[in-house]
Amino acid sequence: MMCFQIYPAVDLKDGNCVRLVHGNEKQMTIYEYDPIKQIKFFLNNGFKWVHIVDLNAAFGKHDNKKVITKILKTFKNDIKIQLGGGIRSIEDIKFWIEQGVSRVVLGTFAFKNPDLINNLSNFFSKKLALGLDIKNKKIAINGWTKLLEIDPVKYMSQVDKKYFDKVIYTDVSKDGTMRGVNISQTRLFAKSINIPIIASGGISSIDEVTALYDQRDIGISGVIIGKAIYEKKFDLKNLIMLSGN
Report d(CA 97, CA 78) in Å as an integer: 16
Report d(CA 146, CA 25) in Å as an integer: 16
Let me know if 205 is exposed, middle or buried by CB neighbors in 10 A (0-12, 13-18, 19+).
middle
Among the listed residues 133, 165, 171, 175, the single catalytic one is 133
Q: Which residues, 6+ apart, have CB-to-CB distance to 197 below 8 Å? A: 166, 167, 168, 169, 186, 189, 190, 219, 220, 221
Among the listed residues 11, 54, 171, 175, the single catalytic one is 11
Q: Which residues, 6+ apart, have CB-to-CB distance to 85 below 8 Å? A: 12, 52, 53, 54, 55, 56, 57, 58, 105
Query: Is 11 annotated in the active site?
Result: yes
Three-state SS at 65: helix
Query: Is 63 annotated in the active site?
Result: no
Report d(CA 239, CA 245) in Å as an integer: 13
Phi-psi region of 244 (alpha: psi -120 to 50; beta: other; left: phi over 0): beta
Active site residue ranges: 11, 133
